[in-house]
């Protein structure tokens, strides 16, 4: 099979600062940051945490996980043990007296209906930007050295994979300051925590999210690779995190993110180091585990691994579509994760070669080719022409979903594979309002009828790289029509959309209400408007 390089054109970065070959890690006290609290709220507040979450005094389980204590947490616990013995004890009042509730900054933002959608998006970036000085001691928020952009709504912290798609919009708006700040924050987290967490919350530290740092770094590759060089060390550290433990595996064994297949090749899966209910979805996870006959710890681990995938939740991770308790994320080798890691291997190879380190370049290129071969063997179905996830425990391929565009997007597919993926996308996923997430309708938010900005972007860009400009333009224009008609009706951008029909509908499903803001929708839409000004 002939391969088409997954290069992006070096678009429009107007980045002036000189290249820095290495960005040395700096101890936190040098940067003036407080030492992070690595206890999550459930670790710290124990019985109080369980009481608050199970009594449902907040409709969203994330609210209490994001509360900041007004005084030292140990004193709060002391007060709690005394207060709860009293007959007139009121848990809700106790929480309000002892904690500050999270604020949603952009809820006060009033859209100007006169603004075009692009102007609205550009005006929102400052509203969605958080500054390091807002850190509260003992809150679950992890301080970051530089300003960062959040998705919006209940998501008041930075999110790993969302950020790449938001960054497309910063670049289109000429916000190179934000681009650099975001990339530097993620590099800093790799130094500080050994990986990029799901988001900058203590309760997100035990997992990561789809590894897209190599794609962020690629945004700095204008005029060769000089600007990207400063992140090479971080790319290697991130790779070590994802491959941790591979050297001790035997065939059919798995450890954290790595799985050894029967022929000795290693591919990756999503994972979370904890196996308890998620702090931010505590009661939801307890109820899901109750609905399963498996040990609760296994269900919790699979729910957490599903959150690490960014597709929380989807039929891709379920053995019985529509039944969340059948979740089996850790049994699945996902097509998108392995494509992102191919991209990471190729980025390390390319940046090492540019530095004259041929031995490292050669090693990572071989790793990438090996992964590509293994994906072709286990995750590519040549009979039907589909990329699918692979269940390594039962040795079967799963159903087709929009994740199949990822190998096209990263340049890992042959021309034949890309063309056959394009045909499958047209046949099964192209809907009037854009690209559906999957063919299943389960009530989960990463299934049909929902469409999400990151999936539209990877499809548009991927098919365009492989020369199918018709399909690329078709997806882009359908998506832009969906987003702009919703914007005209509601003057807002949201997290996900129902793309199944001609009329623009807001997305629904999943474990929390639809959020507006919204980082990655804004970023992808802004960039697509630039690529396709006529729609």
Nearer to ligand LLGJG24Q, 201 or 230 (CB): 201
CA distances from 506 to 60, 453, 485, 517, 535 (A): 20, 13, 11, 13, 20
Distance CA 182, CA 519 (A): 13
- Report the nearest approach of ligand LLGJG24Q to the CB of residue 232 (Å): 26
User: CB-side exposure of 230: number of CA atoms within 13 Å?
Assistant: 18
Q: Find the part of the chain contacting ligand LLGJG24Q (CB under 6 A) among 118-126, 277-285, 387-395, 461-469.
A: 277-285
Report the largest interatomic distance among the alpha carbons of the chain, rounded to a whole angstrom. Answer: 75
Contact flag: residue 496 with ligand LLGJG24Q (CB under 6 A): no
Write out the binding residues for ligand LLGJG24Q, residues 52-71 only, by CB under 6 A. Answer: 62
Q: Cis before residue 478, ω within 30 degrees of 0?
A: no
Sketch the per residue contact string, 178 through 217, with ligand LLGJG24Q: x for CB under 6 A, - otherwise.
--------------------x-------------------
- Report the nearest approach of ligand LLGJG24Q to the CB of residue 512 (Å): 6
Nearer to ligand LLGJG24Q, 76 or 324 (CB): 324
Annotated binding site: 154, 161-162, 198, 207-209, 278-280, 310, 511
- Report the nearest approach of ligand LLGJG24Q to the CB of residue 24 (Å): 30
Sketch the per residue contact string, 382 through 411, with ligand LLGJG24Q: x for CB under 6 A, - otherwise.
------------------------------
Contact flag: residue 159 with ligand LLGJG24Q (CB under 6 A): yes
Active site residue 312: yes
For residue 19, with 0-12 CB atoms within 10 Å meaning exposed, 13-18 middle and 19 or more buried, which class applies? Answer: middle
Nearer to ligand LLGJG24Q, 397 or 448 (CB): 448
Q: Catalytic residue among 272, 312, 447, 468, which?
A: 312
For the range 9-16, what are the long-range contacts, defined as Cβ-Cβ under 8 Å and sequence gap of 24 or more?
10/221, 10/222, 10/223, 11/171, 12/171, 12/172, 13/171, 13/176, 13/179, 13/219, 13/220, 13/222, 13/227, 14/174, 14/176, 15/176, 15/179, 15/180, 15/220, 15/222, 15/227, 16/176
Size of the site for ligand LLGJG24Q (CB under 6 A): 14
Nearer to ligand LLGJG24Q, 218 or 280 (CB): 280
Which one among 45, 64, 125, 161 touches ligand LLGJG24Q, defined by CB under 6 A?
Answer: 161
- Strand, coil or helix: what is 247? helix
- Report the nearest approach of ligand LLGJG24Q to the CB of residue 161 (Å): 6
What's CA 520's distance to the chain center, in Å? 10
Contact flag: residue 462 with ligand LLGJG24Q (CB under 6 A): no
Nearer to ligand LLGJG24Q, 155 or 239 (CB): 155
Q: Find the part of the chain contacting ligand LLGJG24Q (CB under 6 A) among 85-93, 276-284, 285-293, 380-388.
A: 276-284
Distance CA 220, CA 13 (A): 7
Contact flag: residue 42 with ligand LLGJG24Q (CB under 6 A): no
Distance CA 128, CA 177 (A): 15
- Report the nearest approach of ligand LLGJG24Q to the CB of residue 198 (Å): 5
Q: At what angle do helices 41-55 and 91-98 cross, to 10 degrees?
A: 140
- Report the nearest approach of ligand LLGJG24Q to the CB of residue 4 (Å): 28
Which one among 145, 151, 433, 509 touches ligand LLGJG24Q, defined by CB under 6 A?
Answer: 151
CA distances from 353 to 84, 348, 361 (A): 64, 8, 5
**Phi and psi for 393 in degrees, rounded to 5?**
-80, -40
Token output for 64: 């209490």
Distance CA 482, CA 494 (A): 11
Nearest alpha carbon to residue 371 among 408, 403, 338, 411 = 338
Distance CA 529, CA 480 (A): 8
Strands 266-268 and 332-333 turn out to be: unpaired
Nearer to ligand LLGJG24Q, 66 or 227 (CB): 66
The answer to whether the CB of 481 falls within 8 A of the CB of 535 is yes
Q: Find the part of the chain contacting ligand LLGJG24Q (CB under 6 A) among 51-59, 275-283, 344-352, 477-485.
A: 275-283
Nearer to ligand LLGJG24Q, 285 or 468 (CB): 285
Annotated binding site for substrate: 154, 161-162, 198, 207-209, 278-280, 310, 511
Nearer to ligand LLGJG24Q, 162 or 447 (CB): 162
- Report the nearest approach of ligand LLGJG24Q to the CB of residue 318 (Å): 15
| Secondary structure of 427-451 in HEC code, one letter for each residue | HHHEECCEECCECCCCCCCCCCCEE
Write out the binding residues for ligand LLGJG24Q, residues 306-325 only, by CB under 6 A. Answer: 307, 310, 312
Distance from first CA to last CA of the chain, Å, rounded? 34
Order of strands, edge to edge, in the sheet holding 505-506?
450-451, 497-498, 505-506
**Phi and psi for 119 in degrees, rounded to 5?**
-65, -40
Nearer to ligand LLGJG24Q, 512 or 532 (CB): 512
Contact flag: residue 157 with ligand LLGJG24Q (CB under 6 A): no
Active site residues: 312, 495
Q: By CB under 6 A, name the binding residues for ligand LLGJG24Q.
A: 62, 151, 155, 159, 161-162, 198, 278, 280-281, 307, 310, 312, 512
């Amino acid at each position: 099979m002939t391969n088409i390089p997954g290069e992006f054109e070096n678009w429009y970065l107007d980045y002036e600062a000189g290249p820095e070959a290495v960005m040395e890690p700096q101890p936190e006290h040098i940067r003036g940051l407080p030492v992070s609290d690595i206890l999550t709220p459930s670790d710290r507040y124990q019985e109080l945490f369980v009481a608050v979450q199970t009594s449902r005094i907040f409709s969203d389980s994330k609210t209490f996980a994001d509360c900041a204590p007004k005084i030292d947490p140990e004193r709060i616990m002391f007060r709690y043990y005394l207060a709860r013995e009293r007959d007139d004890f009121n848990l809700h009042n106790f929480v309000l007296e002892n904690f500050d509730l999270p604020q949603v900054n952009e809820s006060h933002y009033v859209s100007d209906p006169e603004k075009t959608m692009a102007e609205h998006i550009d005006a929102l970036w400052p509203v969605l930007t958080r500054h390091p000085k807002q850190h509260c001691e003992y809150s679950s928020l992890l301080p970051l050295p530089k300003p960062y952009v959040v998705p919006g709504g209940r998501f008041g912290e930075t999110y790993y994979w969302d950020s790449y798609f938001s960054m497309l919009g910063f670049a289109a708006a000429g916000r190179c300051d934000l681009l650099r700040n975001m990339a530097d924050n993620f590099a800093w987290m790799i130094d500080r925590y050994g990986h990029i967490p799901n988001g900058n919350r203590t309760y997100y530290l035990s997992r990561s999210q789809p590894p897209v740092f190599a794609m962020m770094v690629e945004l700095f590759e204008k005029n060769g690779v000089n600007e990207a060089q400063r992140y090479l060390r971080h790319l290697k550290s991130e790779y070590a995190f994802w491959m941790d433990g591979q050297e001790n595996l035997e065939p059919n064994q798995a450890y954290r993110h790595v799985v050894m297949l029967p022929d000795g090749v290693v591919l990756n899966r999503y994972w979370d180091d904890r196996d308890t209910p998620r702090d931010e979805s505590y009661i939801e996870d307890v109820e899901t585990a109750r609905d399963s006959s498996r040990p609760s710890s296994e269900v919790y681990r699979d729910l957490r691994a599903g959150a690490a995938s960014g597709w929380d939740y989807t039929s891709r991770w379920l053995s019985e579509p529509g039944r969340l308790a059948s979740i089996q994320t850790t049994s699945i080798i996902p097509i998108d994760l392995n494509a992102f890691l191919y991209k990471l291997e190729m980025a390390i190879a390319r940046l090492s070669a540019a530095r004259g380190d041929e031995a490292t370049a050669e090693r990572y290129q071989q790793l990438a080719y090996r992964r590509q071969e293994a994906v072709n063997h286990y995750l590519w179905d040549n009979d039907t022409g589909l990329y699918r996830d692979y269940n390594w425990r039962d040795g079967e391929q799963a159903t087709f979903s929009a994740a199949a565009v990822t190998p096209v997007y990263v340049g890992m597919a042959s021309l034949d594979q890309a063309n056959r993926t394009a045909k499958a996308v047209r046949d099964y996923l192209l809907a009037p309002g854009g690209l559906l997430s999957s063919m299943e309708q389960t009530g989960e938010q990463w299934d049909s009828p929902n469409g999400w900005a990151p999936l539209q972007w990877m499809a548009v860009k991927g098919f365009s790289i492989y020369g199918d400009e018709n399909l690329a333009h078709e997806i882009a224009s359908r998506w832009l029509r969906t987003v702009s008609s919703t914007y005209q009706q509601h003057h807002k951008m949201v997290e996900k959309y129902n793309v199944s029909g001609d009329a623009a509908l807001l997305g629904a499903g999943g474990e929390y209400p639809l959020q507006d803001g919204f980082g990655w929708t804004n970023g992808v839409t802004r960039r697509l408007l630039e690529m396709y000004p006529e729609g």
